[in-house]
């Protein structure tokens, strides 16, 4: 499924935290892959051709280098073959159905460091076929998929702003930073640039983030959504992740999570979503327990003004990924299994729980990937990449969707089992069929 293809846009950015960016590796070598039959089966990737034989493709690496070194993704050139049983040879122009997915064409052009596939058979789960074959029943993809969405400027435009106060003025002199600008300026407040002489104030009624907190008689999210809908066209107020959000709510609202630095309560957030439903923009609502507003004092990982990125990271670990792994274990205990999708390493199909996180704030994406660090550069909370490399969530596939509207080079990445990254490809989207 193309879980968040082309997604996302603004969050209440994290504040007053520095992140240690991972060093960018050198560009990977370019491998020329000739056009030839290619089969993708659960367990191995093989290319049979006189020029090249790559059993298991274990050493193919997708680059984490800057995107200017990446060749553009090819247009869909491959054709989906008939569904074949494991190990069954490809038969052209056959319509006989069977139990597994194969690809009949590799893209015959130069692609840096990896084979990019254009199509893979969507694994939606077929209980009857599993029962016939004697294999464990496979869960339907749409029943277990999980999408975690930042809200502000990722799902919708936010008209609210953040206030910063000039140092030494007893909060008398202040500036308002629009939400979309704050996503990039938050780490410079009090340190460098135009906001070097300013600081945050944590007072919820009058401080830096008062526009994002519940106030007596006021729901800031509902006010913002009403304003956006009244003043702007849908194309103007809806963010990059909006369509994915709508699609997932329609298919499986229980799999939709909101992870925002907003300070509103869960109930008030749902009031805002109910307004969008009443206006016909969404069909269903996520469960209240899936609304994670880490800027609200009632949240278990409440961030205050210290580190919303750390709070988001902890929430993702404990309230999303731990639960996804538990669900996978429960399926196994019941004699079932997760859907069959392209695995984290991109070299074979695996039965995994798909989880995607989307955010427009580059600081939040970096924190989710690499962890959070204090001002001295000391690691405060380990990132998802290091956790996965250490064996965490073995039955879960994690994708990070970067929706930064100001970065045309932002890419969506899958965290591989060794903690390195690979760029998400059309094969991932095809194997995770959109509802």
Picking from 14-23, 327-336, 373-382, which range would have the lowest pLDDT averaged per residue? 14-23
The Cα 126–Cα 141 span in angstroms is: 10
Q: Quick check: 274 pLDDT over 60? A: yes
Give the mean model confidence (pLDDT) for residues 386-392.
98
Per cent of the chain over pLDDT 90 is 46
210 class by beta-carbon count within 10 Å (0-12 exposed, 13-18 middle, 19+ buried): middle
Q: Quick check: 269 pLDDT over 80? A: yes
Please answer whether residues 114 and 325 qualify as being in contact, where contact means their C-beta atoms are separated by less than 8 angstroms.
Answer: no
Give the mean model confidence (pLDDT) for residues 324-341.
97
Please answer whether residues 293 and 264 qualify as being in contact, where contact means their C-beta atoms are separated by less than 8 angstroms.
Answer: yes
Dihedral sign from CA coordinates of 15, 303, 223, 359: positive
* pLDDT tens string 90-149: 222 333 333 233 222 322 222 222 222 222 333 334 433 444 556 889 999 999 999 999
Q: What pLDDT shows up at residue 133?
A: 57
Q: Quick check: 37 pLDDT over 90? A: no
Residues whose CB is less than 8 angstroms from the CB of residue 141 and which lie 6 or more positions away in sequence, other chains included: 1, 122, 123, 124, 125, 339, 341, 354, 432, 433
The Cα 214–Cα 226 span in angstroms is: 16
Picking from 93-97, 115-119, 312-316, 365-369, which range would have the lowest pLDDT averaged per residue? 115-119
Q: Quick check: 266 pLDDT over 90? A: yes
Sequential DSSP letters for 69-121: GSPPPPPS---BPPPB-TTPPP-TT-----SB--B-----SEEETSPPPS---
Q: What pLDDT shows up at residue 135?
A: 80
Q: Quick check: 277 pLDDT over 80? A: yes
Q: Quick check: 308 pLDDT over 80? A: yes
Residue among 9, 86, 96, 4 nearest 46 (CA): 86
Q: Quick check: 301 pLDDT over 70? A: yes
Give the mean model confidence (pLDDT) for residues 284-307.
89
Between 397 and 193, the higher pLDDT residue: 397
pLDDT bracket for residue 305 (50, 70, 90): low
* pLDDT tens string 214-264: 778 889 899 999 989 999 999 999 999 999 999 999 999 999 999 998 889
Q: What is the mean pLDDT of the chain?
A: 74
Q: Beta 353-359 vs 336-337: how paired, if at all?
A: unpaired
Q: What pLDDT shows up at residue 304?
A: 65
CA separation, residue 247 to residues 136, 414, 434 (Å): 28, 21, 8
* pLDDT tens string 406-425: 787 788 999 999 999 999 99
Q: What pLDDT shows up at residue 104?
A: 25
Q: Going edge to edge, which strands form the sheet with 146-149?
A: 291-293, 256-260, 146-149, 353-359, 396-402, 413-415, 421-423
């Amino acid at each position: 499924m193309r879980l968040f293809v082309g997604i996302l846009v603004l969050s209440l950015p994290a504040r007053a935290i520095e992140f240690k960016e991972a060093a960018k590796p050198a560009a990977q070598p370019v491998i020329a892959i000739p056009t030839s039959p290619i089969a993708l089966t659960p367990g191995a990737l093989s290319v049979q051709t006189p020029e090249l034989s790559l059993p298991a493709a274990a050493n193919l690496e997708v680059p984490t280098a800057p995107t200017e070194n990446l060749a553009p993704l090819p247009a869909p050139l491959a054709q989906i073959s008939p569904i074949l049983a494991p190990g069954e040879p490809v038969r052209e122009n056959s319509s006989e159905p069977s139990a597994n997915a194969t690809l009949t064409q590799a893209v015959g052009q130069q692609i840096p460091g990896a084979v990019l596939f254009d199509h893979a058979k969507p694994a939606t789960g077929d209980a009857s076929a599993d029962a016939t074959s004697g294999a464990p029943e496979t869960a339907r993809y749409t029943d277990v998929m999980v999408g975690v969405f930042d809200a502000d400027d990722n799902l919708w435009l936010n008209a609210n702003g953040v206030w910063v106060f000039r140092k030494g003025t007893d909060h008398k002199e202040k500036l308002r930073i629009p939400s979309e600008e704050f996503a990039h300026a938050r780490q410079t407040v009090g340190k460098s640039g135009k906001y070097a002489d300013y600081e945050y104030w944590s007072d919820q009624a009058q401080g830096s983030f008062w526009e994002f907190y519940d106030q007596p008689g006021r729901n800031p999210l509902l006010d913002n959504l009403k304003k956006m809908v009244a003043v702007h066209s849908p194309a103007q107020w809806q963010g990059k992740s909006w369509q994915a959000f709508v699609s997932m709510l329609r298919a499986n609202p229980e799999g939709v999570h909101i992870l925002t630095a907003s300070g509103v309560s869960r109930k008030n957030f749902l009031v805002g979503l109910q307004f969008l439903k009443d206006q016909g923009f969404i069909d269903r609502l996520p469960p209240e327990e899936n609304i994670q507003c880490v800027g609200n004092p009632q949240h278990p990982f409440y961030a205050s003004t210290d580190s919303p990125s750390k709070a988001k990271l902890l929430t993702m670990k404990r309230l999303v990924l731990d639960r996804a792994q538990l669900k996978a274990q429960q399926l196994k205990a019941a004699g079932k299994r997760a859907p069959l999708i392209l695995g984290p390493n991109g070299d074979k199909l695996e039965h995994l729980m798909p989880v995607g996180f989307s955010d427009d704030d580059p600081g939040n994406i970096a924190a989710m990937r690499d962890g959070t660090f204090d001002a001295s550069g000391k690691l405060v909370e380990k990132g998802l990449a290091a956790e996965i490399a250490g064996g965490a969530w073995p039955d879960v596939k994690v994708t990070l969707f970067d929706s930064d509207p100001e970065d045309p080079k932002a890419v969506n990445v899958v965290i591989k089992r060794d903690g390195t990254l690979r760029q998400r490809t059309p094969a991932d989207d095809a194997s995770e069929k959109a509802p």
